[in-house]
Each structure stands twice: as C-alpha cells, then as structure tokens.
Amino acid sequence: MSEQDASQMLRIGRSLVIAIDGPSGSGKSSVAREIARRLGLAYQDTGAMYRALTLVCLENGVSVQNQAAVEELAERFYFEQWFDPGVGMVAAGLDAERALDVTDEIREPRVSEAVSAVATNLGARTELIRRQRAAIESVRNRMVVEGRDITTVVAPKAEVRLLLTASEAARLARRGAQLASSGEQQSAEQLAQQVLARDAKDSTVVDFQRAADGVVTIDSSDLDFDQTVAAVLRLVHETVGG
Ligand SMILES: Nc1ncnc2c1ncn2[C@@H]1O[C@H](COP(=O)(O)OP(=O)(O)OP(=O)(O)O)[C@@H](O)[C@H]1O
Ligand SMILES: Nc1ccn([C@H]2C[C@H](O)[C@@H](COP(=O)(O)O)O2)c(=O)n1
C-alpha cells in the first residue's frame, strides 16, 4: 500500500479496527505498532494491561494465585496506555495518585513468569476486556489492537481480523535475539519456558493458535519484519480498500 492509499484511508472518518492475535513471539506487537504508525491509527497492546495488573499484584502483596483478590484488584487498579504508536508508554498503580510509569517494569521476567496466572483468571479477564473495548471506543474505533482474543472476543466485528503466526523455531529465535539485544542472557530452557510454556497455559482460556471463522492467517515464519508488515498492509487494502 502506498502512502497515498494510507492517507486516503485516514481521511475517511469511518471505523477501522484492525484486530491481531497470535502466539508469543509471532511479532504481533512490533508489526501492529508499525501498521498503526503507517495508517495513522491508534495502537493498543492488550498484553500490557495483563502485565500491568500482574505487576500491581506483585508490588502490593496480592498473590496472583488468589483468584478473588486478583479479580477485585482488576476492577479498581489504575491503568493508562498511550495509544500513539510512537510512544508506547504505560502507567499503572493501585489508584491514580499512586500510579507510576511502568513501561519497562511490565517486561521484567518476574512479570512474564506470573502473568499467565492473571490472564487465566476469568473474572479479571471480564474486567480487562471491558476496559479494552472502552479504549477502542475512546478513539472512535480507529485502532490497531493486538493480543490473544481480539479477533474472537474483544472486537469480533473488527473490519480486519488477522491471526499472525510463526513456527516455534522462528518464535524462539526472534525472542532470543530480542532478549540478547537488550542484554538479557537466557538459557534455551528459560526461553522455551517464557515462550512455549506461557502459550500452553494461556491457551487454556483462549484459542490463539487457530483462526476463527472470518479471521485471515498470515504465517510469518519465512518473512522478515518488513515483508510481514507489507503482507498485513496488503490484507488491510484488500479488505477495506484504500
Ligand atoms: N517477521 C519477522 N521477522 C523477524 N523478526 C520479527 C518479525 N516480526 C517481529 N520480529 C521481531 O521478533 C521479536 C518479537 O516480536 P514481538 O515482541 O512483536 O512479538 P509478540 O508476538 O508481540 O510477542 P509477545 O506476545 O510475547 O509480546 C521482536 O524483536 C520483533 O522485532
Ligand atoms: N488479549 C490478551 C493479551 C494478552 N494475554 C496474556 C497472554 C500473555 O501471557 C500475557 C502478556 O501478553 P504479551 O505481552 O506477552 O503479549 O497476557 C491474554 O490472555 N489476552
């Protein structure tokens, strides 16, 4: 899609929700952010909300295994995400007064290790899904939203619904390279735990391994980042025109 096509889509004040799901390391966040940037849309990383709630539990002595306490906290914790794809900042805390910039903290290994317990808490999910839908409405339905249940639960009527997949080997290699570039050393076992074991646990409550009816699959195993972005832009163009 040319820049002109993208700007034509921008001028039309219609809804354009692009829903992207997929397993860990498939490239959802980085690709979704770039698509939002190119099309001038807002960007919502829903995994950041699950991570922020997990961090608030850990920082305030709430066991992530305590289902009732996590659900109760989900309903009252403060969460804010900047929807500009160039910013990517997240603030969270027990309430607005105590909220802090947690953009980096939510990516720490202690959060990645604990987040599945929160993501599989169905009561907490109900509240986070409500907040995610409200976020889409707050930008008049012009947003790229990525996660695990966006195409099926959060925004099943999105104009574009995409499952972004990649082979296990590609996902492990990508996550390994990403961690290495940020100076984090992880054994093959830790890496597999972070990517594959987390997916196995998360997929007990949502199916992000197979495309639901009407959801298009893009397998990026043999595509580089730019080729994947181009494939998604083509899909958007074919689906909603330019
Ligand atoms: N098609 C691609 N080819 C090579 N590398 C890619 C591709 N897509 C994304 N990447 C890189 O892979 C890494 C992981 O991508 P990203 O964090 O976007 O995955 P994710 O699906 O959002 O994972 P998670 O759900 O665990 O947050 C990043 O460093 C990203 O730049
Ligand atoms: N819509 C979503 C988004 C995320 N999750 C879960 C899955 C992960 O364990 C965790 C963090 O997500 P990530 O930042 O790795 O994409 O949150 C979910 O269940 N539903």
pLDDT of 242 over the 70 cut: no
Domains of the chain, by residue range, sit at: 3-240
Q: What pLDDT, on the 0 to 100 scale, is given for residue 190?
A: 86
- pLDDT score of 148 more than 90: yes
The answer to whether residue 70 scores a pLDDT higher than 80 is: yes
Task: Name which of 197, 160, 158 is nearest 23 in CA terms.
Answer: 197
Choosing from 21, 29, 46, 228 the residue with most ligand 1 atoms within 8 A of its CB, the one to mutate for a pocket test is 29
Instruction: Return the DSSP state at 82.
Output: -
Predicted confidence (pLDDT) per residue in 103-130, tens digit: 999 999 899 999 999 999 999 999 999 9
* Single-letter amino acid code for the residue at 27: G
Q: Is the pLDDT of residue 4 over 90?
A: no
Contact (Cβ atoms closer than 8 angstroms) between residue 47 and residue 53: no
Superfamily (CATH) of domain 3-240: P-loop containing nucleotide triphosphate hydrolases (3.40.50.300)
Q: Please answer whether residues 85 and 33 qualify as being in contact, where contact means their C-beta atoms are separated by less than 8 angstroms.
A: yes
Q: Is the CB of 29 under 6 A from ligand 1?
A: yes
Q: Which residues contact 218 (CB under 8 A, 6 or more apart)?
A: 162, 163, 164, 165, 228, 231, 232, 235
- What percentage of the chain has pLDDT greater than the value 70? 95
Q: Are 28 and 164 in contact (CB under 8 A)?
A: yes
Residues in the annotated binding site for ATP = 22-30
Centroid of ligand 1 to alpha carbon of 220 (angstroms): 10
H or E stretch at 158: none
Q: Once rounded to an integer, what is the mean pLDDT over residues 130-149?
A: 98
- Residue 186 pLDDT: 81
Atom 5, ligand 2: residue with shortest CA distance:
47
- Average pLDDT for residues 146-169, to the nearest whole number? 98
Element (H, E) at 154: none
Q: Indicate whether residue 50 lines ligand 2 (CB < 6 A).
A: yes
- CB distance 46 to ligand 2 below 6 Å: yes
Token pair of 128 as six digits? 């986070």
- Centroid of ligand 2 to alpha carbon of 126 (angstroms): 14
DSSP 148: S
Q: Could you identify the atom of ligand 1 that is nearest to the CA of residue 195?
A: 26
Task: Note the pLDDT of residue 177.
Answer: 92
Ligand nearest to the CA of 35: 1
Nearest-angstrom CA–CA distance, 148 and 154: 9
- Assess whether pLDDT exceeds 70 at residue 27: yes
pLDDT at 183 (0 to 100): 85
The stretch 163-174 carries a mean pLDDT of 96
Q: Which residues are annotated as a binding site?
A: 22-30
Compute the chain's Rg from CA coordinates. Answer: 17
What's the whole-number average pLDDT of the chain? 93
Q: Which of 122, 179, 196, 181 is nearest to 153 (CA)?
A: 122
Nearest-angstrom CA–CA distance, 64 and 58: 8
Give the pLDDT confidence score for residue 124 in this predicted structure.
98
Residue nearest to atom 15 of ligand 1 (CA): 27
